[in-house]
Structure 1
């Protein structure tokens, strides 16, 4: 049986961000005849991949978000919901208004428009800790209670569960990517997680493999995925009208592989000690990353991507090593993207 036709009109929320930029590139390459509507707070300059997009300015954290979305979603066949607020972590209710309340607004607008496909960008952060082997999409998605990010992602997945029950004719898919990387996202990643304490010269030393040792908590296993590979997965889901959850990640980068990327010897440091340092720096407002983010990074299981590879014929084009090197190079160079969300023009304020 042939897959359904590509959506004629597609709405992408958060279209100017890290994941959104990868999705727009994939859409331009693979679905050039689809009319793409981008929703964000600060539209980018009309340069590739943003130049073929009809832009609508909507604050999903606003009380009238569903009404504001109506012109953008009117006549749409599908919605890809990528918008998400990560900072400021200390303002959890503000984040919740955008993340959970904004998702409710998107679902309400999608229902009113009669869309038949919804793709939501969930996260590895929905998975409960405790696995000793890579986990597939059936692993408990109860998240990690210490992380507001994880709690909100779990809450939205429960909203999607309810939406699916109430709208059986809509194909609802949720992708669960790990850390999404690309060179252009370096400034965004630094501002969200590193802050000014980790300077570009330090990042340059890491990039140039000039640090002799790097402290690493035991059992560390990081997975990255390139924004273009996430975009490829989203397009495949849209083309197939696929539903359900999909882990989206490259291979696991363990301590030895990380040492190879950095050209340094890893020194084991107890997790409790590292977490205490992160907590102290966060309390002192020296870094934006919270202890909850540390817990997500260290305790989330490695993800098995068999379902995406089998159902979508998806494979990552870049390994975690390649993704880490691209991001690290961007961090050392202070790379920015063309959109305000990625540190480009209009990003101030």
Structure 2
């Protein structure tokens, strides 16, 4: 099988790339990205591509056909004939789309163009070019602003949160991909929803908040999170691709932690503040450069998920509980 992958310079994409490189059933990996990963496995080829480009059919075919990198980017989505090759996409069996803008930005229109329009442009043109299986890496945040201890299975409806850009973008992408699947055609579509990912190479403002002391958060005794190791995410995605399974797959352990639990596991204090105050403070901090996120990232925790289909269809289980995975965050040694 020949698998294409976006987002390989990120922690999740990198883990997926290296996990796939160790699978006997993967013949070649085509890494699509703006820059070449530092460590490219032997069976992997790099094709220059940017989030927002079409499926780079001619460049991918050239890379797979001659076993070389294609770095110019001329044919990777912007050329006049991009996406028009009748047989070009058939050389790739599967695509895993893991590239996405996560961190907050004042350039919301650009984030929407990349995350939503760009993702759907890539996915639709890849399917049109003949890629048989397409996996979109979504998030628990596609469930919207729901939080609490009651886990949500894959069959539960997702919910929009327009004032929270990342949640909103994941929701819109999932809705569109479901529509693609309902239209029929030869491509099978899968959606993977990991909870908060931790492990080597994973660093973002959310994890920085989780390790702060004191941990200032709205309703810390009731705001909940789940944590999953990046290696478990890579394993689940490889199982989805290898089995060519379609549908939605929640990726999470069985347990969840409140923000107060998270603070206590580190020997830190958790201080509760009203949600409105946390949002006002984060907007002020973001505007002045004191924080890396605005109110677009302030919620009562994440939705808690139950990975029902991941177990039943893929035979997958997280190898760590949320409490165990929490220790993978740099600097956490207690718990």
Shorter-normalised TM range: 0.7 to 0.9
Name which of structure 1's ranges 315-324 and 19-28 shifts more when overlaid on structure 2. 315-324
Tell me the distance in 1 between the aligned counterparts of 2:301 and 2:199: 24
1:264 aligns with 2:268: yes
- Offset at 1:135? 1.1
1:79 maps to which residue?
95
1:37 aligns with 2:25: no
* Contact kept? 2:27, 2:43, Cα under 8 Å: no
User: What whole-Å deviation, never above 9, does each CA across 1:69-96 have from its counterpart, x for those lacking one?
Assistant: 5422631011111111234521111112
Tell me the distance in 1 between the aligned counterparts of 2:28 and 2:290: 44
More helix by share: 1
1:55 maps to which residue?
46
2:5 maps to which residue?
12
State how 1:111-260 maps to structure 2 within 5 Å: 111-130=127-146, 132=148, 133-186=150-203, 189-190=204-205, 214-218=215-219, 219-250=222-253, 251-260=255-264
- Offset at 1:229? 0.7
User: What whole-Å deviation, never above 9, does each CA across 1:271-325 have from its counterpart, x for those lacking one?
Assistant: 3332332222122222121211112xx2532111122122211111233233322
Gaps of 5+ in 2: 62-88
Name which of structure 1's ranges 104-113 and 156-165 shifts more when overlaid on structure 2. 104-113
* Contact kept? 1:18, 1:180, Cα under 8 Å: no
The answer to which structure, 1 or 2, has the higher relative contact order (CA under 8 A, 6+ apart) is 1
Aligned-residue Cα RMSD (Å) equals 2.6
1:103 aligns with 2:119: yes
User: What whole-Å deviation, never above 9, does each CA across 1:255-282 have from its counterpart, x for those lacking one?
Assistant: 4531332113434333333233222212
* Contact kept? 2:55, 2:126, Cα under 8 Å: no
Tell me the distance in 2 between the aligned counterparts of 1:260 and 1:193: 15
Q: Determine helix, strand or coil for the equivalent of 1:79.
A: strand
- Offset at 1:175? 0.5
1:22 maps to which residue?
15
Tell me the distance in 1 between the aligned counterparts of 2:146 and 2:328: 30
Relative to structure 1, the CA distance from residue 50 to residue 280 in structure 2 (aligned partners, 3 Å threshold; closer, same or farther) is farther
1:66 aligns with 2:54: yes
TM-score, normalization by structure 1: 0.78
Q: Determine helix, strand or coil for the equivalent of 1:326.
A: coil
User: What whole-Å deviation, never above 9, does each CA across 1:176-226 have from its counterpart, x for those lacking one?
Assistant: 11222222223xx25x885xxx8xxx96xx6xxxx5x54443212111211
1:319 maps to which residue?
321
- Offset at 1:168? 4.1
Tell me the distance in 2 between the aligned counterparts of 1:266 and 1:293: 18
* Contact kept? 1:88, 1:95, Cα under 8 Å: no
TM-score, normalization by structure 2: 0.81
